[in-house]
């Protein structure tokens, strides 16, 4: 049986492994370790932050190794998951179909999305458990003609315990993450290698021969007949560049900025994260308790139960690069203008429920949806394969997405990975 190497075990990598195992002998190479949910009590950490020990977001790795943090030179905090399940384990489980830009270049993923609906439980059943504050916000959005929609979630949210740990790895197993696809592949014979950081892809005479990876202070060569690169929007470009393949300077990251206020008994820290969304031009708005800001932003030094926050998620410009761990990404003037429009809207929303503008405060600018540095065009709409790549090397993650979605991308990434898998099988 021919060998397939899948680099990464997140939304795309786990999907590809599940789809290809059996037709190929699949080996999944994951840079991180086995994922473990956050084990500390959030209430304990809330008390501990008073000590002043929390002053840099990168410290989160000491408490939660699955969350990797880096910063741009302008101090935007960039987040991604590392370990089995990739960023799906630290996501909020949103299942939004966001393939409009792909349709514009002739890519129809209807078949793949229909398959996903049969394989992953997706519903808005969490709506019946919303707390009083969330219901009030939803009605306010409706009164302002913002057309809020309950967010479809991946998982069995009727069993949600409202612990507030969505982004720390659901301790109850309510939220779906890609480890379920990964386990499916493993149960059918796929091999998983963790703690395996890819150095480069070995290309000889126009063909990918395998990959070299660092494993326990040494390098190892993994031969393969086909290689699928699914290391994520921050990881995939670096592997390509290390392998002598140029990427575009088109990095997007979907920046997030929260506008918050203090309201007694809001209990947003115990609510399902992002329970509903409102889609607007250039950004979306959703209720969201921002733990990075809560632990590391001095303006958020208030009781968690009394903080009420709205997230602005921006569809940013495709301009940025990454080299190793260094990311060069700034917001241009248009991005900043759209972000300020989002802030003004949040001020208006809070005003509608009687909260004063002078009492509002901002969160830390952060981002966690990187992509766009090897985008698909109309030329690749059928093959999903760029002519600059060896015939047996494929990309299957957000690196392929042409433009920032300004929205949760996991469902769309899974659909992309399914299409790539189908083309490889053919």
Q: What is the pLDDT of residues 308-337, one digit of tens each?
A: 999 999 999 999 999 887 899 999 999 999
**Which helix (H) or strand (E) is 195 found in, with range?**
none
Q: Are 133 and 267 in contact (CB under 8 A)?
A: yes
Q: What is the pLDDT of residue 236?
A: 97
DSSP-derived letter for residue 54 is -
Q: Determine the Cα–Cα distance for residues 223 and 173; give it in Å rounded to an integer.
A: 35
Q: What is the pLDDT of residue 49?
A: 81
Chain centroid offset of residue 276 CA: 17
Q: What is the pLDDT of residue 354?
A: 95
Q: Determine the Cα–Cα distance for residues 410 and 12; give it in Å rounded to an integer.
A: 8
Q: Of residues 224 and 46, which shows the higher confidence score?
A: 224
Least confident of 41-55, 75-89, 169-183, 347-361: 41-55
Q: Are 384 and 376 in contact (CB under 8 A)?
A: yes
Q: What is the pLDDT of residue 367?
A: 97
Q: How confident is the prediction for the chain on average, in pLDDT?
A: 95
Query: Shortest CA distance to 251 belongs to which of 236, 263, 262?
Result: 236
Which residues touch 46 (CB under 8 Å, ≥6 apart)? 294, 303, 304
pTM of the model: 0.96
| pLDDT tops 80 at residue 64 | yes
Q: What is the pLDDT of residue 158?
A: 84
Chain centroid offset of residue 370 CA: 8
Q: Of residues 113 and 59, which shows the higher confidence score?
A: 113
Six token digits for residue 6: 């899948």
Q: What is the pLDDT of residue 218?
A: 83
Q: Determine the Cα–Cα distance for residues 78 and 89; give it in Å rounded to an integer.
A: 16
Q: Is 365 helix (H, G, I), strand (E, B) or coil?
A: coil
Which residues touch 92 (CB under 8 Å, ≥6 apart)? 153, 166, 167, 175, 272, 273, 274, 288, 408
Q: Are 369 and 405 in contact (CB under 8 A)?
A: yes
| pLDDT tops 80 at residue 52 | no
Which residues touch 318 (CB under 8 Å, ≥6 apart)? 250, 251, 252, 372, 375, 402, 403, 404
Kind of pairing between the strands at 25-29 and 3-7: parallel
The 3-class SS string of 268-310 reads HHHCCCCCEEEEECCEEEEECCCHHHHHHCHHHCCCHHHEEEE
- Which architecture does CATH list for 51-77+122-171+251-367? 2-Layer Sandwich (3.30)
Give the tens place of pLDDT for each residue, 340-398.
999 999 999 999 999 999 999 999 999 999 999 999 999 999 999 999 999 999 999 99
| pLDDT tops 80 at residue 215 | no
Q: What is the pLDDT of residue 323?
A: 86
Q: Of residues 218 and 187, which shows the higher confidence score?
A: 187
């Amino acid at each position: 049986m021919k060998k397939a190497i899948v680099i990464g075990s997140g939304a795309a990598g786990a999907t590809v492994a599940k789809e290809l195992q059996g037709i190929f002998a699949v080996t999944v190479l994951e840079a991180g370790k086995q994922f473990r949910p956050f084990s500390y009590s959030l209430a304990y950490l809330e008390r501990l932050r008073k000590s002043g020990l929390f002053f840099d977001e990168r410290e989160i790795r000491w408490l939660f190794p699955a969350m990797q943090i880096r910063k741009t030179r302008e101090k935007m905090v960039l987040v991604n998951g590392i370990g089995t399940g990739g960023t799906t384990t630290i996501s909020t489980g949103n299942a939004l179909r966001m393939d409009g830009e792909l349709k514009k270049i002739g890519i129809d993923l209807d078949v793949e999305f229909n398959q996903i609906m049969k394989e992953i439980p997706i519903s808005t059943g969490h709506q019946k458990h919303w707390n009083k504050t969330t219901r009030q916000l939803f009605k306010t959005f409706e009164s302002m003609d913002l057309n809020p929609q309950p967010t479809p979630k991946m998982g069995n949210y009727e069993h949600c315990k409202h612990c507030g740990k969505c982004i720390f790895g659901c301790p109850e197993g309510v939220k779906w993450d890609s480890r379920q696809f990964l386990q499916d592949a493993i149960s059918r014979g796929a091999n998983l290698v963790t703690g395996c950081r890819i150095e480069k892809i070995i290309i000889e005479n126009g063909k990918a021969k395998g990959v070299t990876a660092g494993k326990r202070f040494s390098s190892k060569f993994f031969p393969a007949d086909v290689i699928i690169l699914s290391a994520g929007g921050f990881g995939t470009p670096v592997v390509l560049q290390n392998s002598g393949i140029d990427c575009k300077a088109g990095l997007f990251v979907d920046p997030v900025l929260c506008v918050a206020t203090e309201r007694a008994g809001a209990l947003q820290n115990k609510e399902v994260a992002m329970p509903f969304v409102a889609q607007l031009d250039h950004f979306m708005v959703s209720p969201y308790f921002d733990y990075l800001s809560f632990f590391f932003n001095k303006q958020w030094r208030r009781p968690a139960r009394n903080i009420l926050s709205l997230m602005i998620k921006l569809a940013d410009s495709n301009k940025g690069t990454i080299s190793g761990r260094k990311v060069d990404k700034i917001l241009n003037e248009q991005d900043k203008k759209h972000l300020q429009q989002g802030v003004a809207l949040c001020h208006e929303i809070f005003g509608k429920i009687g909260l004063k503008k002078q009492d509002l405060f901002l969160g830390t600018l952060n981002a966690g949806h990187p992509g766009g540095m090897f985008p698909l065009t109309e030329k690749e709409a059928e093959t999903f394969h760029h002519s600059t790549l060896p015939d047996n090397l494929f990309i299957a993650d957000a690196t392929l997405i042409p433009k920032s979605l300004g929205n949760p991308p996991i469902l769309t990434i899974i659909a992309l990975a399914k299409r790539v898998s189908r083309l490889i099988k053919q």
